[in-house]
Chains A and B, each alone.
Chain A
Amino acid sequence: GDSVTQMEGPVTLSEEAFLTINCTYTATGYPSLFWYVQYPGEGLQLLLKATKADDKGSNKGFEATYRKETTSFHLEKGSVQVSDSAVYFCALNPTSGGGADGLTFGKGTHLIIQP
């Protein structure tokens, strides 16, 4: 079945450091790919998405490129801030099931940014 693997956390960085959170997936066909962020005690917020190969999603300084050849969707940010501290989830939505299969999530990566 479909699966998403993302790097284990916690990831601890200093403010203004460069961020990469790795995400790879297994799926048939051409899934849509998403990054969601969850702040403490809250639900999930969409950070960015890409729906086809070579698409780049971007938002709030974060970027991720849909790489079908490596089945990856790594999240990057050039200069992180303390306010970026949260749990980040990579997810896919298979298009082969007509949209009825729900999102498949990775286990999440806890990001801690120190001042």
Chain B
Amino acid sequence: ETGVTQSPTHLIKTRGQQVTLRCSSQSGHNTVSWYQQALGQGPQFIFQYYREEENGRGNFPPRFSGLQFPNYSSELNVNALELDDSALYLCASRAGGAQETQYFGPGTRLLVL
């Protein structure tokens, strides 16, 4: 158990819909990152939030957006869902800089039909 929780565990949506995924970071961790893991692939970095501001982003379009709240919990929003958005979405939190370990939650599995 890492202390990072995510909800929901599973979700089914249809193309064009919007989805919000939630993450509660480990206590004391002020940095939250989101990753997309397609089936049989390694996770791909979506973006990172530090003290409620996005401070890093991977190669994902603007329809992927997020928020971080004062208690450091976070949301990932995806608009205009596409079939290729079907994946496991992982949230990770850490305290401190790049050398510190990122602790992952169990993920939300999203299926887009």
> In the complex, are the beta carbons of A108 and B98 less than 8 A apart?
no
B65 contacts A by Cβ under 8 Å: no
B104 contacts A by Cβ under 8 Å: yes
- From B14-22, B48-56, B70-78, B79-87, the one touching the partner chain is B48-56
> In the complex, are the beta carbons of B90 and A43 less than 8 A apart?
yes
Given A101-B45, A102-B48, A105-B42, A43 and B106 contact (CB-CB distance below 8 Å): yes
Given A102-B33, A102-B56, A93 and B43 contact (CB-CB distance below 8 Å): no
Between A and B, 8 residue pairs with Cβ closer than 8 Å are A42-B106, A89-B42, A93-B99, A100-B50, A100-B56, A101-B98, A103-B35, A105-B42
A residues apposed to B, CB below 8 Å: 4, 32, 34, 36, 42-46, 49, 51, 89, 91, 93-95, 97-108
B residues apposed to A, CB below 8 Å: 2, 31, 33, 35, 40-48, 50, 55-56, 58, 90, 92, 97-99, 101-107
- Kindly list chain B residues whose C-beta atoms are within 8 Å of the C-beta of A100: 48, 50, 55-56
| Bound complex: CA A49 to CA B103 (Å) | 12
- Kindly list chain A residues whose C-beta atoms are within 8 Å of the C-beta of B48: 100, 102
> In the complex, are the beta carbons of A49 and B101 less than 8 A apart?
yes
| Bound complex: CA A42 to CA B35 (Å) | 14
Given contacts A46-B102, A102-B46, A108-B42, 15 further A-B contacts (CB under 8 A): A34-B101, A43-B107, A45-B2, A46-B103, A89-B43, A93-B98, A99-B97, A100-B48, A100-B55, A102-B33, A102-B45, A102-B56, A105-B42, A107-B40, A108-B40
| Closest chain B CB from A9 CB (angstroms) | 10
- Kindly list chain A residues whose C-beta atoms are within 8 Å of the C-beta of B103: 46
- Kindly list chain B residues whose C-beta atoms are within 8 Å of the C-beta of A105: 42-44
| Closest chain A CB from B57 CB (angstroms) | 9
- Kindly list chain B residues whose C-beta atoms are within 8 Å of the C-beta of A97: 56, 98
Cβ-closest chain B residue relative to A100: B56
Given A43-B105, A43-B106, A97-B56, A103 and B43 contact (CB-CB distance below 8 Å): yes
- Kindly list chain B residues whose C-beta atoms are within 8 Å of the C-beta of A32: 98-99
